[in-house]
Structure 1
């Protein structure tokens, strides 16, 4: 069965969202049309404004409607620390976890030669310009623990070593509350290689 052409267009439009397949798109569309038309109008208005006004921070490249985001403007952040992440979502996850009070640089992806994504595509020239400003003492590589993320981290590390800055990488290993028998081999191997001295009470 097919809906009217306009409803079909709505279903197709909703499917641009990640994780939204035909069934989910249908549920969303029918909910908006049958029960939540005011919410749908609000969504249209806010989405239109966001698409029009939200861009990238000139310093860290996260999403913001201002030239410089609030984190980059904050005097409470430690300017000596710069954490490099793949996406604004990764940055948000680190902020939500708490404990980090430095600055960020968002790559918006990772190196992937097979897909034609090179250093310029992930803003490494802008990262160089950011480091040229001075003040950064340690760069924290927080790319994802995937093949592409690791390759990106190694590439950036090679570029930064020439500057004499301290380099660190996020530790990966056994999750808190996890049981060893359920941890995959790659994670377990990395946990062993990155082990730290035991700090007993």
Structure 2
């Protein structure tokens, strides 16, 4: 235990997700030893992000304007909405460059232990967006863990009566990984999500020409 401001800083850092007591202590002493101007810029950056950044009124992604850049982009498809838990998931999917539709950020996942139910997420707003007749598919891209699966199951049950196609991100073996190191759940999902690997062009069957009895047999 430290006295005064140092312990208060450690306590506050320890409130951050993924920061344990030892990490909080290490970061606190790094701040103490770092250049004052560097820490001043860090403090100002935190203040500015809290003042300027808000949530998009359409998809609830982080934005400094009323709507985010992705919602304002007219080149993106209005037919598909990808539903994610957090804004960081949007960044991850955008890095893949494999999706050109719209997003909807739930703001978390169903977690009864932490008091997070469907009412605390942006599910009602998602249902409102689905009133747009241009939308033909919903992609559920929640995390492949207990909370993410519970959220996806709830969304499927809630959205299915709307008659819109609902798909789920595939899960299974990572590219470049070794089969022997995969856990049972990952292997099970890889087997369940297996794909047909039929060749694109049919392979001609091997035809053997029978030898007639009139053909001479050469001696070696």
Aligned to 1:50: 49
1:32–1:39 contact (8 Å) kept in structure 2: no
Aligned to 2:103: 104
Query: 5+ residue gaps in structure 1?
Result: none
Whichever structure has more helix as a proportion of its residues is 1
In 1, the alpha carbon distance for the partners of 2:110 and 2:23 equals 32
With 42-51 and 152-161 compared, the bigger mean Cα shift is at 152-161
Q: State the TM-score, normalized to the length of structure 2.
A: 0.84
Bigger Rg, structure 1 or 2: 2
Aligned to 1:133: 132
Aligned to 2:76: 77
Aligned to 1:23: 22
In 2, the alpha carbon distance for the partners of 1:109 and 1:80 equals 24
Aligned to 2:164: 165
In 2, the alpha carbon distance for the partners of 1:20 and 1:116 equals 21
Aligned to 1:67: 66
Q: State the TM-score, normalized to the length of structure 1.
A: 0.91
2:191 equivalent to 1:192? yes
Query: What is the aligned residue count?
Result: 200
Q: 1:30 to 1:191 in 2, by over 3 A?
A: same
Deviation per CA, 1:71-95: give whole Å up to 9, x if none: 1100121111100111112121111
